[in-house]
């Protein structure tokens, strides 16, 4: 779903339900980024001369991986770019970010300037749209985990949703449900998708807390620490508590420090952050309006506890867990059937 929304908005691509080449290549590339994005994950990050050792050398397995991953990461921007170019030429392109950018560039006076508008450069600038797919999937996985582990939060969120939406329809973006806004923010805070954000480089010499940071140094924003800081969020930051984001009137507290820390920092902050939060919001609120999520039970009737474990890397995903998902009522079931048959 996340990949479909992003590829359709960014490139006007209708994703195939199965074995879609754009999704496949994004999954492979994002896996590569997840494995390599954290600074220091590979020894070659700290000892750059290691990149010159031959591939057959003991301990040089990273070079083989790099070769494989390089292929997917290079194709990822080119594939959807070629799709849009073909569609524009054939007059079949749907309106998308890429089609609009390309049309604009083609009409510009310096359209032939390969230095600034080379196809690959454009493709690379557009490509990170795929960055949103896996990150959104991870956040939705965390949402399902939180709902399984925190039934009281689930009930509260359902009550808040019912009070606005009622029983006979699915929620939509016009529904103002601050508690659900807080649930989404808490999903991104409790288990941030990129706990160490993305490494940045310092552009000019700097001094911070008495430490000299020369230009060019790599700095890593500790998203996890920022989002678990009790001086900002109050107590129990290791628990899933949407109230961390609410003021005493039950509205989103707009005075929070670094409310978007889950999306990185500075000029390179995630440009898809609004789309991401609204994508997670509409999924979460639609799920809670119609379905109950509970822990599965084993043969003896004992609840199966989710491990709560995550993968490690640049992007972290919850390890899949068992849970039971059932319609909340016959009315909810009818709403689901109507939505599916539309």
Query: How many Å apart are CA 61 and CA 68, to the nearest integer?
Result: 11
3: how many CB neighbours lie within 10 A of its CB?
A: 23
CA–CA separation, 143 vs 277, rounded Å? 12
Q: Does 123 contact ligand HEM by CB under 6 A?
A: no
CA–CA gap between residue 242 and residue 327 (Å, rounded): 24
- 270, 283, 285, 293: which one binds ligand HEM (CB under 6 A): 270
Burial of 129 (0-12, 13-18, 19+ CB in 10 A): buried
**Least distance (Å) from ligand HEM to the CB of residue 48?**
22
SS3 255: coil
Does 6 bind ligand HEM (CB under 6 A)? Our answer is yes
Nearest residue to the partner ligand HEM, using Cβ:
272
270 assigned binding-site residue? yes
- 136 makes contact with ligand HEM (CB under 6 A): yes
Span near ligand HEM by CB under 6 A; candidates 21-29, 174-182, 224-232, 260-268 = 260-268
What lies within 8 Å, CB to CB, of 241 at 6+ separation is: 153, 186
| Shortest CB 10 distance to ligand HEM, Å | 6
Six-digit token string for 339: 């939505």
Residue closer to ligand HEM (CB basis): 142 or 292: 142
Q: Which stretch binds ligand HEM (CB under 6 A): 37-45, 79-87, 205-213, 267-275?
A: 267-275
Residue listed under structure tokens 């995550």: 310
Contacts for 228-234 with beta carbons within 8 Å, 24 or more apart? 228/189, 232/256, 232/257, 232/258, 233/189
Residue in 184, 196, 197, 227 binding ligand HEM, rule: CB under 6 A: 197
Contact between 29 and ligand HEM by CB under 6 A: the answer reads no
Choice between 136 and 148, CB closer to ligand HEM = 136
Q: Binding segment for ligand HEM among 144-152, 239-247, 262-270, 317-325 (CB under 6 A)? A: 262-270
Residue 235 tokens, joined: 């107590």
Summarize as ranges the residues that interact with ligand HEM (CB under 6 A): 6, 128-129, 131-132, 135-136, 139, 193-194, 197-198, 262-265, 268-272, 275-276
Annotated binding residues, as ranges?
Answer: 270
């Amino acid at each position: 779903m996340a990949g479909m929304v992003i590829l359709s908005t960014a490139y006007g691509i209708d994703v195939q339900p199965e074995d879609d080449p754009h999704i496949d290549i994004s999954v492979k590339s994002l896996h590569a980024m997840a494995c390599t994005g954290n600074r220091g994950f590979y020894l070659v990050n700290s000892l750059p001369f290691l990149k010159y050792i031959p591939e057959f050398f003991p301990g040089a397995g990273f070079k083989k991986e790099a070769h494989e991953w390089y292929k997917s990461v290079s194709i990822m921007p080119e594939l959807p770019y070629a799709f849009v170019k073909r569609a524009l030429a054939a007059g079949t392109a749907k309106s998308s970010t890429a089609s609009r950018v390309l049309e604009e560039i083609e009409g510009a006076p310096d359209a032939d300037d390969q230095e600034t508008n080379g196809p690959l450069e454009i493709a690379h600038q557009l490509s990170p749209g795929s960055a949103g797919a896996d990150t959104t999937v991870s956040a939705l996985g965390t949402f399902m985990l939180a709902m399984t582990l925190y039934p009281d939060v689930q009930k509260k969120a359902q009550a808040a949703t019912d009070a606005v939406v009622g029983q006979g329809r699915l929620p939509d973006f016009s529904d103002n449900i601050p508690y659900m806004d807080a649930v989404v923010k808490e999903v991104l805070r409790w288990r941030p998708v990129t706990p160490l954000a993305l490494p940045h480089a310092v552009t000019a010499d700097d001094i911070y807390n008495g430490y000299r940071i020369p230009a060019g140094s790599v700095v890593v924003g500790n998203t996890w620490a920022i989002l678990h800081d009790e001086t900002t969020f109050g107590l129990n930051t290791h628990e899933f508590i949407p109230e961390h984001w609410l003021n005493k009137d039950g509205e989103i507290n707009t005075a929070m420090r670094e409310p978007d820390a889950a999306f990185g920092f500075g000029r390179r902050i995630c440009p898809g952050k609004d789309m991401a939060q609204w994508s997670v919001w509409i999924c979460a609120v639609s799920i809670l309006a119609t379905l109950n999520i509970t822990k599965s039970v084993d043969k003896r009737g004992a609840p199966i506890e989710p491990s709560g474990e995550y993968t490690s890397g640049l992007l972290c995903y919850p390890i899949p867990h068992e849970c039971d998902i059932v319609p909340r009522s016959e009315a909810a079931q009818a709403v689901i059937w109507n939505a599916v048959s539309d």
